[in-house]
Protein backbone atom coordinates (compact mmCIF):
# COMPACT_ATOMS: atom_id res chain seq x y z
CA UNK A 1 0.00 0.00 0.00
CA UNK A 2 3.06 2.19 -0.18
CA UNK A 3 1.73 4.28 -3.09
CA UNK A 4 -1.60 5.20 -1.52
CA UNK A 5 -2.10 8.47 0.31
CA UNK A 6 -2.29 8.06 4.08
CA UNK A 7 -5.92 9.27 4.21
CA UNK A 8 -6.94 6.61 1.70
CA UNK A 9 -5.33 3.91 3.86
CA UNK A 10 -7.29 5.24 6.84
CA UNK A 11 -10.54 5.08 4.89
CA UNK A 12 -9.80 1.49 3.87
CA UNK A 13 -9.00 0.65 7.48
CA UNK A 14 -12.35 2.06 8.64
CA UNK A 15 -14.18 0.09 5.96
CA UNK A 16 -12.31 -3.10 6.84
CA UNK A 17 -13.10 -2.71 10.54
CA UNK A 18 -16.78 -2.09 9.87
CA UNK A 19 -17.09 -4.99 7.44
CA UNK A 20 -15.68 -7.22 10.15
CA UNK A 21 -17.98 -5.66 12.77
CA UNK A 22 -21.09 -6.11 10.63
CA UNK A 23 -20.34 -9.73 9.73
CA UNK A 24 -19.45 -10.62 13.33
CA UNK A 25 -22.63 -9.06 14.71
CA UNK A 26 -24.76 -10.84 12.14
CA UNK A 27 -23.03 -14.13 13.00
CA UNK A 28 -23.84 -13.70 16.70
CA UNK A 29 -27.50 -13.08 15.85
CA UNK A 30 -27.57 -15.97 13.39
CA UNK A 31 -26.18 -18.40 15.97
CA UNK A 32 -28.65 -17.27 18.65
CA UNK A 33 -31.57 -17.69 16.26
CA UNK A 34 -30.28 -21.04 15.04
CA UNK A 35 -29.09 -22.75 18.21
CA UNK A 36 -31.10 -21.13 21.00
CA UNK A 37 -34.35 -19.82 19.56
CA UNK A 38 -34.45 -22.43 16.76
CA UNK A 39 -35.94 -20.04 14.21
CA UNK A 40 -34.81 -21.67 10.98
CA UNK A 41 -36.38 -19.06 8.70
CA UNK A 42 -35.06 -15.96 10.42
CA UNK A 43 -31.67 -17.55 11.03
CA UNK A 44 -31.48 -18.25 7.30
CA UNK A 45 -32.40 -14.66 6.47
CA UNK A 46 -29.66 -13.36 8.76
CA UNK A 47 -27.18 -15.80 7.20
CA UNK A 48 -28.09 -14.53 3.73
CA UNK A 49 -27.70 -10.94 4.93
CA UNK A 50 -24.26 -11.78 6.35
CA UNK A 51 -23.20 -13.34 3.05
CA UNK A 52 -24.63 -10.42 1.07
CA UNK A 53 -22.67 -7.99 3.25
CA UNK A 54 -19.51 -9.96 2.61
CA UNK A 55 -20.05 -9.97 -1.17
CA UNK A 56 -20.29 -6.18 -1.57
CA UNK A 57 -16.54 -5.58 -1.32
CA UNK A 58 -15.17 -9.10 -1.72
CA UNK A 59 -13.20 -8.03 -4.80
CA UNK A 60 -11.47 -5.35 -2.68
CA UNK A 61 -10.34 -7.56 0.22
CA UNK A 62 -6.68 -7.29 -0.73
CA UNK A 63 -6.56 -3.53 -0.37
CA UNK A 64 -8.68 -3.62 2.80
CA UNK A 65 -6.53 -6.25 4.49
CA UNK A 66 -3.38 -4.39 3.49
CA UNK A 67 -4.71 -1.34 5.36
CA UNK A 68 -5.56 -3.40 8.48
CA UNK A 69 -3.63 -2.65 11.67
CA UNK A 70 -5.23 -4.84 14.34
CA UNK A 71 -2.09 -4.86 16.46
CA UNK A 72 -1.95 -1.07 16.53
CA UNK A 73 -5.65 -0.54 17.24
CA UNK A 74 -6.00 0.82 20.77
CA UNK A 75 -9.75 0.08 20.58
CA UNK A 76 -9.04 -3.63 20.91
CA UNK A 77 -8.39 -3.10 24.63
CA UNK A 78 -11.79 -1.50 25.27
CA UNK A 79 -13.99 -3.43 27.68
CA UNK A 80 -17.46 -4.37 26.54
CA UNK A 81 -20.32 -4.61 28.99
CA UNK A 82 -21.55 -8.09 29.86
CA UNK A 83 -24.86 -9.18 28.41
CA UNK A 84 -27.33 -10.37 31.03
CA UNK A 85 -29.90 -11.97 28.76
CA UNK A 86 -30.18 -13.50 25.32
CA UNK A 87 -32.47 -10.61 24.38
CA UNK A 88 -29.80 -8.04 25.30
CA UNK A 89 -27.18 -10.02 23.37
CA UNK A 90 -29.34 -10.11 20.25
CA UNK A 91 -30.39 -6.46 20.60
CA UNK A 92 -26.84 -5.18 20.98
CA UNK A 93 -25.75 -7.14 17.92
CA UNK A 94 -28.63 -5.89 15.77
CA UNK A 95 -27.58 -2.35 16.79
CA UNK A 96 -23.90 -3.11 16.09
CA UNK A 97 -24.73 -4.46 12.62
CA UNK A 98 -26.85 -1.43 11.76
CA UNK A 99 -24.18 0.99 12.97
CA UNK A 100 -21.44 -0.81 11.05
CA UNK A 101 -23.50 -0.81 7.87
CA UNK A 102 -24.17 2.91 8.27
CA UNK A 103 -20.43 3.56 8.60
CA UNK A 104 -19.83 1.37 5.53
CA UNK A 105 -22.42 3.32 3.60
CA UNK A 106 -20.84 6.67 4.50
CA UNK A 107 -17.16 5.77 4.08
CA UNK A 108 -17.85 3.87 0.87
CA UNK A 109 -19.02 7.17 -0.61
CA UNK A 110 -15.39 8.30 -0.34
CA UNK A 111 -13.57 5.29 -1.83
CA UNK A 112 -16.16 2.85 -3.24
CA UNK A 113 -18.99 5.24 -4.23
CA UNK A 114 -20.81 2.65 -6.32
CA UNK A 115 -21.13 0.38 -3.25
CA UNK A 116 -22.72 2.87 -0.85
CA UNK A 117 -26.28 2.14 -1.97
CA UNK A 118 -25.77 -1.60 -1.43
CA UNK A 119 -24.75 -0.95 2.18
CA UNK A 120 -27.79 1.30 2.67
CA UNK A 121 -30.11 -1.48 1.46
CA UNK A 122 -28.41 -3.98 3.76
CA UNK A 123 -28.78 -1.60 6.71
CA UNK A 124 -32.51 -1.29 6.14
CA UNK A 125 -32.73 -5.08 5.84
CA UNK A 126 -31.15 -5.30 9.32
CA UNK A 127 -33.87 -2.98 10.65
CA UNK A 128 -36.55 -5.11 9.00
CA UNK A 129 -35.18 -8.38 10.39
CA UNK A 130 -34.75 -6.88 13.85
CA UNK A 131 -38.44 -5.93 13.86
CA UNK A 132 -39.43 -9.37 12.56
CA UNK A 133 -37.41 -11.01 15.34
CA UNK A 134 -39.04 -8.91 18.07
CA UNK A 135 -42.53 -9.44 16.71
CA UNK A 136 -41.98 -13.21 16.68
CA UNK A 137 -40.20 -13.65 19.97
CA UNK A 138 -41.04 -10.82 22.35
CA UNK A 139 -44.75 -10.17 22.50
CA UNK A 140 -44.36 -7.49 25.17
CA UNK A 141 -41.43 -5.59 23.69
CA UNK A 142 -43.22 -2.24 23.38
What's 109-127 look like in SS3?
Answer: HHHCHHHHHHHHHHHHHHH
DSSP structure class, residue 3:
T
- Give the contacts of 28 (CB within 8 A, at least 6 positions apart): 89, 90, 93
pLDDT > 60? residue 75: yes
pLDDT > 70? residue 61: yes
pLDDT, tens digit, 9 for 90 and up, residues 94-135: 999 999 999 999 999 999 999 999 999 999 999 999 999 999
Query: Of 139 and 7, which is predicted with more confidence?
Result: 7
Residue 142 is predicted with a pLDDT of: 52
112 close to 60: Cβ distance less than 8 angstroms: yes
Residue 79 is predicted with a pLDDT of: 85
pLDDT, tens digit, 9 for 90 and up, residues 1-28: 556 688 889 999 999 999 999 999 999 9
58 close to 126: Cβ distance less than 8 angstroms: no
Amino acid sequence: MGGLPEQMKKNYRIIDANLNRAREALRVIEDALRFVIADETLSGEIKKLRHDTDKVLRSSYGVLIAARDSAGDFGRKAKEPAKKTLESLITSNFKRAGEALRALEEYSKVVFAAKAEAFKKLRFKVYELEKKHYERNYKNYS
